[in-house]
Amino acid sequence: SFAPGLPRSTARARAASGPGHGPGYRIRKARDDDMPWIALTVTSMIMSPFGLSAPNFLVAEQAFGSERLGFAQLRSLTEDSGPFLLASLFVTPAARGQGIATELVLQLLENKQRSSARCPVYALTLKNKLGFFQRLNFRELQGAETKELPQSLALEAQLGRFIAPLAAGEPLIVLRNDG
C-alpha cells in the first residue's frame, strides 16, 4: 500500500528505506547549533531569510557520522498555525540525487498533517524547480490565484519576483499543496 497523497514511486521508495532515512542519511529535528550553518547557507544561496528558527527546520545528516547534508523548513504564515510556507530547501551538491530533498519535504508535510488542521502549504521557488515540486503534489498558482495569498507571503513573493531573476536568472513561482 502507499501513503495517501504521495506519488506511488515515492511511497514505494520510502517503504523500502523507511521514513526518516535513506541508504546513507537520516533526518532529524534541527538544533540550535545547526542554525549558524543554516543561516550562512541561506544567505549565500540568496534565499529568503525569514523564519530562521530551529523548531521550523529538519536537517539531513550522514547516517554514520554527523556531516550535515541538507535542510528545509516549514513555518506558519499566521499566528494561528496555518497556512504554511515550505522554505529554505537545500541539499549539499555532493549529496544530491539521493532523495534527501524529497524526504525532507515529505517529513515536513507529514509532521504538519499530524499536528494541525488541514490547511495549504505554499512554496516560493525558481521556475526550473517546478518538476520536483509537482512530484510532491504542489501546483503552480497562476493569475488571480496569486492575488489571494496570505499577506506575509504576498510581500515575500513580490520581493522574490524582483530578486530571483537578477540573482538566479530564473523567475520565481508560487506553488501550493492542499495535501
Tens-digit pLDDT profile for residues 45-56: 888 888 899 999
Specify the pLDDT at position 19. 52
Tens-digit pLDDT profile for residues 61-86: 999 988 999 999 999 988 777 799 99
* pLDDT band with cut points at 50, 70 and 90 for residue 167: confident
State the number of CA atoms in the 13 A half-sphere of 38 facing the CB. Answer: 28
Specify the pLDDT at position 7. 47
- Report how far apart, in Å, the C-alpha atoms of 66 and of each of 26, 72, 174 are: 10, 17, 34
Query: What global pTM score does this model have?
Result: 0.84
